[in-house]
Each structure stands twice: as structure tokens, then as C-alpha cells.
Amino acid sequence: MPSTSRPADARVPAARRVVFVDGVRTPFGRARKDGLYAHTRADDLAVRTVRELLRRHPQLPPERVDDVALAATTQQGDQGLTLGRTVAMLAGLPATVPGFAIDRMCAGAMTAVTTTAAAIGFGAQDVTVAGGVEHMGHHPMGFDADPNPRFLAERIVAADALNMGVTAENLHDRFPALTRERADAYGVASQQKYAAALASGRIEPDLVPVALRDPEHGWGLATADEPPRPGTTVEGIAGLPTPFRAGGRVTAGTSAPLTDGAASCLLAAEDVALELGLPVRMRMVSFAYAGVEPEVMGLGPVPATHKALERAGLSVDDIGLFEINEAFAVQVLSFLDAFGIADDDPRVNPYGGAIAVGHPLASSGVRLMTQLARQFEEHPEVRYGITTMCVGLGQGGTVIWENPAYDAEEAAR
């Protein structure tokens, strides 16, 4: 006889606050044959960041990590084989901890964060590791890719839309106010701000040293970023060539250099962080991704930020700190113009950005978050901050964060 009793209702979890516990990154290296990580595997860079998170937080039982999401734009070779799972195992997490790989090009680590944060917020997970790695020396962007010929044959994208430097030139074309002079000044300011942050001890605390082995020179230790050029001046970059277009405006001085590196962070439900004694450095408020024409990829952060602000019930005036990925100076300037923000606004990239430190594609989202968390600690008068970035093939991603150290009285002064 079939049962006549009413089946029990499933227990549906209530939404929970998601917090950023901590983030670390490797020093970034130049992606070239004699670069910092020329003889280091990409997955080993990621392993180093995960191990460092566990080392810094011994109060976290490793078995309490529910998932490991690791991003890479090129998922082959030493960046292949389901990075999240392989890195988790190599980092010494228990075999019971699962993991997966993720790809949203430049926003890979950002997407790893928001994807696992959504699982935490839903109640499916308590603690996650999210991050990304890119060894552009081993895997140049787009190398061995085979774009579907329909993209061009059916005019889905312009012929040059797959070249990120050309899309930056297109922004200069579309918005005459985005001059080369503004871009050059912004690129130099990025170098200067990074140098000042380094000198004041604001960069090193988030770095994890990486052991190096060179077949010719033996063992070494990476402790500092390789790409920055602290002596850069506007006069010095004024004559640089424009490799993406003859007579163009985008140069090496206004672009993020090709870079190797990894970054990872710990996320948790706020109640679980308090239970385990983990720090709460930021609270996630909202996030959004948006698409734009691939030909003007750099505009992606603008609609993504509008969406994230609307979902949070905030306006850009509520944002006290902006961490914007500097793929190109013109891309940041287009964002600033869209929101009526001055080029030299002190709220924007206080530690400099990717033009100085580099942009290892899929890892950069967590670098932005880690820097914002440190800036929150320095600025109790700031309640909300943004991490945002453009994404290849015409996308943008934005995450809005709340400062747990916010002091209303300090803000009122």
C-alpha cells in the first residue's frame, strides 16, 4: 500500500552574510624567458598561496574547507587538470576537500570568489578558497586558441576585437576626451602610487615568498614584484611606440605588462568565521557581471558597476574606495569619466595598479580584493568599496564590499 503520510518539507537555508577572511598573492614576475618564474610551474605558484592561507590561519581546520575554486585563462599544461582539485591536493588539504577550475579570462579569480560566495550565501558551503593563477610566460594569452570562424564570417565581432590592445585603441577613438596625454599621466601616477605604497610597507604583508630554481643559477627566493618601474616619467614614456596601431595612443607605459603570478583568498559565512575565530576583513554586499561590445571591452566595468550598485541600493557617491584593474590606462579613464570621477581622485587605486605591478589575468581579481581589505583597515571612515575589472571578449565584473571597521563617528568628522 502506498504511504498516505505527508512527506516532510525540505529544509531550505536562509541567506547568510559572506565575508572575506584573508587574501595573499605571490610576487608578480615578468612573463619572459628570463623572468622571475621562467622555471617555476604555474600550479606550484597557486599551491604556495593556498598553503600560506592555511599557515596564517591555523585555527581553521583544513577539513572545514568546503571547496577550492582556482581560475586560469589558459587551461592546459601546468594550468590544466582541474586546477582547484589538483592545487588543493598539492597544498596538503584533505582528500575530502573538492575543487574545480573556472575561466572568465581576466575576471577568473573574481568569478571564483563570487561563485563560491554564492554557495556560502545559500548555505551549501561554510568556508571556501578562491583564486587564480596565470603564467603568461608559459601560456601567452590566446596561444593555441581556435576561435570559431563564425565570429568573423557572421560579423559577430570585428576582426580586431580579439586583440585587447586594439580594443583599448578603440576606446580612444570612441571618446575624444580620452587623450594619450591623460593616459600617459595616469600610467605614471600608477607607478608612483605603487612605489609609495611599497615604501610605506603596504605591499609586502600580502606577499608570500616563492622558492625559485634556475638551471643555471641554482636556488633563489622571490620576495618582491618584478614589473614595477618606479622611475617612470611622463617625458620618458612620451616617445614610446604604439604597438597596436601605427600612430595610436596605447603604449607599454599605459598598459599592464605581461605577467606571471597567483593569488588566493579565504571566504566564509560570517557566523562560521566568528565560530572559528577567523578575521572578518570585508563583507560582500553585491556583485554583477555585464557584457558590452567586444570591440570596446574596456567599458565592461561601467554597466557591471551600475548593476551592482542598483542591486545594493547604493549610488557611486556611497563608494569611498575603488580598486580598478588597470589593463590599460584608457580603460580606467573611461570608467572614471562615466561616473564623473577625477583622474587623480585619491579614492582610486591608492596603491597603484596593474600598469605598475602587472596583470596575471585570472589572478588579478583577488589582488584587488586583498588590497581593498588593507585599505579598509586604514580608512574606518569609509563604509563601502568596489573591486571592478574589464574582461576579454566584452565583459565587466564588479563586487561591492562593506568595511567591518567602519566608524560612523569617524566618517562624520
The residues assigned a catalytic role are 106, 359, 390
- Number of other residues whose CB lies within 10 A of the CB of residue 342: 10
Q: What is the DSSP letter of 91?
A: T
**Residue among 293, 298, 301, 302 at smallest CA distance from 244:** 298
* Rounded distance between C-alpha atoms, residue 370 and residue 51, angstroms: 16
* Rounded distance between C-alpha atoms, residue 298 and residue 211, angstroms: 35
Q: What are phi and psi of 187, to 5 degrees?
A: -60, -40
How distant, in Å, are the alpha carbons of 135, 210, 270, 400 from that of 213? 16, 10, 40, 39
Taking a C-beta distance cutoff of 8 angstroms, is the pair 318, 409 a contact?
Answer: no
Please report where in the chains the cell 568596489 appears, as a residue: 386
12 CB-contact burial (10 Å; exposed 0-12 / middle 13-18 / buried 19+): exposed
* Rounded distance between C-alpha atoms, residue 382 and residue 374, angstroms: 12
* Rounded distance between C-alpha atoms, residue 309 and residue 289, angstroms: 12
Taking a C-beta distance cutoff of 8 angstroms, is the pair 118, 16 a contact?
Answer: no
Residue type, 237: I
Helix (H) or strand (E) holding 43: helix 42-56
Q: What is the DSSP letter of 81?
A: S
Task: Please list, in sequence order, all residues whose beta carbon lies within 8 angstroms of the beta carbon of residue 28, skipping any fewer than 6 positions away.
Answer: 36, 225, 226, 227, 259, 260, 261, 357, 358, 360
No. of H helices and E strands in the chain? Answer: 13, 12
**Residue among 172, 199, 197 at smallest CA distance from 184:** 172
Please report where in the chains the cell 566608524 appears, as a residue: 407
